[in-house]
């Protein structure tokens, strides 16, 4: 591999955007919203597609690993690596074209989800998948993770909404991936270069592993673990998917759908054509309050029978954190009493009368079956936004917990068929209790995906033991229930080591063949999905992590000291939102990571933890960031 200064000089000669190799810049990109930290080789912030082409070409010539990156909101570490990071968010963040009649948009990978929806809202349209990080998550990241969200019951996953992808293969050649007929696939296999090789190997993988794909892929469609080899056969997809299939017949082969969820390990996306859907004319929300989480889970099947648009559960731990949060506490007047859990149930209709009718059906069912001690109904759009904002704030509230014990993401994305939740979750709790920890529970009851996080201190040996044991036992539990270890957050560093236990050695061999076909030299975000390091490697915090405490004018004792206050930045990137609030006006103006609150916290933590010399605490570079 080339020396770093040779790589930097080569990039500066051909890239018009920013090329950053100083230590502070590298450390700003060494974390995401996960428990991992890996310092990249350098960072490129391209101004346009030609910059991306140039960066990929230089990386090929100098045999350097590549990591395409969006908002850096990943929860399992797939956006940190010892690689050349390509950050699309500052410049390549536009809506290129919208066809309202045919309901599609052509977008750049750095476009934020909420900004796409803001753009198409006047047309009565929206992009269906809606992550809780929608105000900073990018379309490129959603394609990389195969994201879902609260309304996946209605819209499915991102894979159901990708029509076409224009991308660069690792050798710099440009491809356009979309649906193919059998004849078109056969013609593509006769092509030259890396693209032809990819098509030939894809055809061979489909033939070799067809029986294993049908036998080993979970029957429930809410699954993103591994690569989408099921798309080679068009099976194992969401019923009544917008992309077709799922109704007893397979859908056509799409190379675009095949590479969705590949976490930057196969190619670099330049732009994508994505499907849009009609925005519901009217919505209504019923928030059911429960004395017990188990009661909430057991009622979810009855709720699903009423035809909801979304069914979301939030537990007492998150509600208590919200009460202690200045922003959220002012907006919780609709909470009645002190519930152990709430269920947000949403309906759509052509008008308010239709949504009122659906709410009445739910209330009738609730009265008949006797679940929930109270309910709050919201028809007003503003009040509904307030309720949904609390649900979306759950992740940030959890990760902002004070102290060294944090709700850690590594088993937080499991999914089973919804009818199994009431049996699955108590078993989950038993594993936590066995290893002397508790968990936070929230997520999508509608599709069987709960984001369950154990509260663990990674700075002590016991915390390491808990992670290793819990990951092992939860994987076994998921396999027992025929579920998936990853259902929308991706595999990354946290779950890639366990993929083979879910799919078996033969399909794992198929995953490796697909990876080699696209990336023969293993340079695209290596170590994710296949050939991954152990779950405890490259942790942000660990038993060796130590900080020094500067003397400050202000009192940070309530936070546990200045270093602890800095560590309360959880990496979820809430400060990168641009359409609402004023949390980080400097980032809104520049869209530069180092001008975000997260960037500043990362820079401070780098100095306090010794990754940068203590003298840098009063140095010019930290002053620039701050």
- The CATH number that applies at residue 270 is 3.30.465.10
Helices (H), 19-163: 23-28, 49-61, 113-120, 139-145, 152-155
In which element (H, E) is residue 186 found? Answer: helix 182-188
Under the banding of pLDDT at 50, 70 and 90, the label for residue 224 is very high
**150 with 297, same domain?**
no
Cα–Cα distance, 440 to 22 (Å, whole number): 38
**268 with 287, same domain?**
no
**307 with 200, same domain?**
no
Q: What is the pLDDT of residue 391?
A: 86
**125 with 199, same domain?**
yes
**114 with 240, same domain?**
yes
Quote the strand ranges of 427-572, DSSP E: 439-444, 449-457
Cβ neighbours of residue 22 closer than 8 Å, sequence gap 6 or more: 621
**Listed range (254-263, 359-368, 597-606) with the worst mean pLDDT:** 597-606
Q: What is the pLDDT of residue 582?
A: 67
Tell whether 226 is covered by a domain.
yes
Please tell me which residue, 133 or 159, carries the higher pLDDT value. Answer: 159
Cα–Cα distance, 77 to 34 (Å, whole number): 5
Token pair 């991706």 is at which residue?
A: 490
**Listed range (100-114, 235-249, 518-532) with the worst mean pLDDT:** 235-249
Under the banding of pLDDT at 50, 70 and 90, the label for residue 620 is confident
Pairing, β 449-457 against β 439-444: antiparallel
Q: What is the pLDDT of residue 594?
A: 86
Under the banding of pLDDT at 50, 70 and 90, the label for residue 389 is confident
**264 with 337, same domain?**
no
> By 3-state DSSP, what share of the chain in percent is helix, strand and coil, each rounded to 5?
40, 15, 40
Given a contact cutoff of 8 angstroms between Cβ atoms, the answer to whether 310 and 344 are in contact is yes
pLDDT of 2 over the 60 cut: no
User: For 563-585, what is the mean pLDDT?
Assistant: 81
**Alpha-carbon separation of residue 359 from 300, 344, 443, 545 (angstroms):** 15, 12, 21, 52
Q: What is the pLDDT of residue 3?
A: 66
User: For 237-255, what is the mean pLDDT?
Assistant: 89
Q: What is the pLDDT of residue 447?
A: 96
User: For 345-352, what is the mean pLDDT?
Assistant: 97
Intra-chain end-to-end CA distance of the chain, in Å:
34
Q: What is the pLDDT of residue 200?
A: 98
Under the banding of pLDDT at 50, 70 and 90, the label for residue 118 is very high
**143 with 272, same domain?**
yes
pLDDT of 460 over the 90 cut: yes
Q: Domain ends where: 386, 401, 431?
A: 386
Token pair 């990168």 is at which residue?
A: 576
**319 with 253, same domain?**
no
Cα–Cα distance, 443 to 10 (Å, whole number): 46
**255 with 290, same domain?**
no
Q: What is the pLDDT of residue 5?
A: 85
Given a contact cutoff of 8 angstroms between Cβ atoms, the answer to whether 138 and 70 are in contact is yes
Share of the chain above pLDDT 70, in %: 99
Q: What is the pLDDT of residue 529?
A: 98
**171 with 311, same domain?**
no
Share of the chain above pLDDT 90, in %: 79
Q: What is the pLDDT of residue 60?
A: 97
Kindly state the DSSP code that residue 297 receives in the 8-state scheme. Answer: H
Which tokens sit at 362? 């739910």
- The residue segments making up the domain with residue 336 are 282-386
The pTM score is 0.95
3-state secondary structure 79-111: CCCCCEEEECCCCCCCEEEEECCCCEEEECCCC
CATH of the domain at 331: 3.30.70.2190
pLDDT of 602 over the 90 cut: no
Tell whether 126 is covered by a domain.
yes
Given a contact cutoff of 8 angstroms between Cβ atoms, the answer to whether 59 and 86 are in contact is no
Q: What is the pLDDT of residue 606?
A: 86
Cα–Cα distance, 46 to 28 (Å, whole number): 17
Q: What is the pLDDT of residue 613?
A: 83
Given a contact cutoff of 8 angstroms between Cβ atoms, the answer to whether 222 and 152 are in contact is yes
Tell whether 444 is covered by a domain.
no
Which tokens sit at 84? 């050349």
Tell whether 5 is covered by a domain.
no
Question: What's the pLDDT tens digit per position in 479-500?
Answer: 999 999 999 999 999 999 999 9
Q: Domain ends where: 366, 386, 406?
A: 386
3-state secondary structure 271-284: EEEEECEECCCEEE
Q: Domain ends where: 370, 386, 402?
A: 386
**Alpha-carbon separation of residue 237 from 139, 146, 311 (angstroms):** 21, 13, 21
**Listed range (113-127, 206-220, 589-603) with the worst mean pLDDT:** 589-603
User: For 367-378, what is the mean pLDDT?
Assistant: 97
pLDDT of 559 over the 80 cut: yes
Q: What is the pLDDT of residue 610?
A: 87
Tell whether 381 is covered by a domain.
yes
Domain count, the chain: 3
Distance from chain centroid for Cα 392: 13
**269 with 338, same domain?**
no
Please tell me which residue, 79 or 240, carries the higher pLDDT value. Answer: 79
Tell whether 520 is covered by a domain.
no
Cα–Cα distance, 204 to 509 (Å, whole number): 13
Question: Could you give phi then psi for residue 180, rounded to 5 degrees?
Answer: -135, 140
Given a contact cutoff of 8 angstroms between Cβ atoms, the answer to whether 309 and 283 are in contact is yes
Q: What is the pLDDT of residue 259?
A: 98
User: For 113-131, what is the mean pLDDT?
Assistant: 97
**107 with 229, same domain?**
yes
Q: What is the pLDDT of residue 571?
A: 84
Tell whether 329 is covered by a domain.
yes
Question: What's the pLDDT tens digit per position in 395-450?
Answer: 777 777 788 999 999 999 999 999 999 999 999 999 999 999 999 899 999 999 99
Across the chain, what does the average pLDDT equal? 94
Under the banding of pLDDT at 50, 70 and 90, the label for residue 291 is very high
Q: What are the DSSP calls for 458-486, one per residue? A: TTSHHHHHHHHHHHHHHHHHHHHTT-BS-
User: For 297-316, what is the mean pLDDT?
Assistant: 96
Kindly state the DSSP code that residue 162 receives in the 8-state scheme. Answer: E
Tell whether 254 is covered by a domain.
yes
């Amino acid at each position: 591999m080339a020396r770093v200064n040779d790589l930097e000089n080569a990039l500066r000669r051909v890239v018009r955007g920013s090329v950053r190799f100083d230590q502070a810049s590298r450390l700003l990109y060494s974390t995401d919203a996960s428990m991992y930290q890996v310092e990249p080789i350098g960072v490129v912030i391209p101004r346009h597609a030609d910059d991306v082409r140039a960066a990929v070409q230089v990386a090929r010539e100098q045999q350097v690993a590549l990591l395409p990156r969006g908002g850096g909101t990943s929860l399992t570490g797939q956006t940190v690596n010892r690689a050349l990071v390509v950050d699309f968010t500052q410049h390549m963040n536009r809506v290129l074209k919208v066809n309202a009649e045919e309901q599609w948009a052509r977008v750049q990978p750095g476009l934020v989800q909420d900004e796409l929806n803001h753009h198409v809202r006047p047309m009565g349209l929206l992009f269906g998948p809606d992550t809780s990080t929608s105000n900073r998550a990018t379309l490129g990241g959603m394609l990389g993770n195969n994201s879902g969200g609260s309304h996946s019951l209605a819209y499915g996953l991102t894979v159901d909404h990708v029509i076409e992808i224009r991308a660069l293969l690792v050798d710099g050649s440009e491809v356009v991936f979309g649906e193919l007929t059998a004849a078109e696939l056969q013609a593509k296999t006769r092509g030259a270069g890396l693209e032809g090789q990819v098509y030939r190997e894809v055809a061979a993988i489909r033939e070799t592993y067809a029986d294993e794909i049908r036998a080993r892929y979970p029957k429930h469609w809410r699954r993103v673990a591994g690569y989408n080899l099921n798309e080679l056969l068009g099976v194992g997809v969401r019923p009544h998917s917008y992309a077709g299939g799922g109704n007893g017949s397979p859908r056509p082969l799409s190379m675009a759908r095949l590479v969705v969820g590949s976490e930057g390990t196969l190619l670099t996306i330049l732009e994508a054509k994505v499907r849009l859907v009609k925005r519901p004319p009217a919505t209504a929300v019923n928030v059911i309050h429960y004395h017990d989480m188990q009661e909430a889970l057991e009622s979810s099947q009855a709720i699903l029978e009423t035809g909801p648009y979304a069914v979301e559960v939030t537990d007492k731990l998150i509600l208590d954190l919200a009460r202690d949060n200045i922003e959220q506490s002012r907006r919780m007047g609709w909470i009645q009493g002190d519930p152990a859990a709430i269920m947000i149930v949403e309906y759509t209709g052509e008008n308010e009368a239709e949504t009122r009718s659906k709410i009445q059906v739910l209330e009738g069912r609730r009265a008949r079956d006797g679940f929930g001690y109270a309910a709050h109904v919201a028809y007003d759009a503003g009040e509904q936004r307030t309720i949904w904002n609390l649900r979306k704030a759950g992740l940030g509230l959890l990760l902002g917990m004070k102290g060294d014990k944090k709700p850690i993401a590594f088993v937080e994305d499991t999914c089973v068929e919804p009818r199994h939740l009431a049996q699955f979750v108590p078993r989950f709790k038993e594993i936590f209790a066995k290893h002397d920890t508790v968990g936070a529970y929230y997520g999508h009851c509608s599709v069987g995906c709960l984001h369950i996080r154990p509260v663990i201190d990674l700075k002590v040996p016991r915390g390491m033991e808990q992670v290793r044991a819990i990951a092992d036992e939860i994987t076994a539990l998921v396999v027992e229930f025929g579920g998936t270890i990853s259902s929308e957050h991706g595999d990354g560093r946290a779950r890639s080591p366990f993929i083979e236990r879910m799919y078996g050695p033969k399909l794992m061999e198929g995953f490796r063949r697909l990876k080699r076909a696209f990336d023969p030299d293993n340079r695209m975000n290596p170590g994710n999905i296949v050939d991954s390091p152990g779950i405890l490697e490259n942790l942000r915090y660990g038993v060796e992590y130590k900080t020094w405490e500067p003397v400050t004018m202000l009192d940070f004792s309530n936070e546990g000291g200045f270093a602890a206050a800095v560590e309360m930045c959880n990496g979820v990137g809430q400060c990168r939102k641009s359409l609402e609030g004023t949390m980080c006006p400097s980032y809104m103006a520049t869209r530069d990571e180092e001008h975000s609150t997260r960037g500043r916290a990362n820079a401070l933590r780098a100095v306090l933890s010794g990754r940068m010399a203590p003298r840098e605490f009063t140095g010019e570079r930290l002053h620039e960031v701050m």
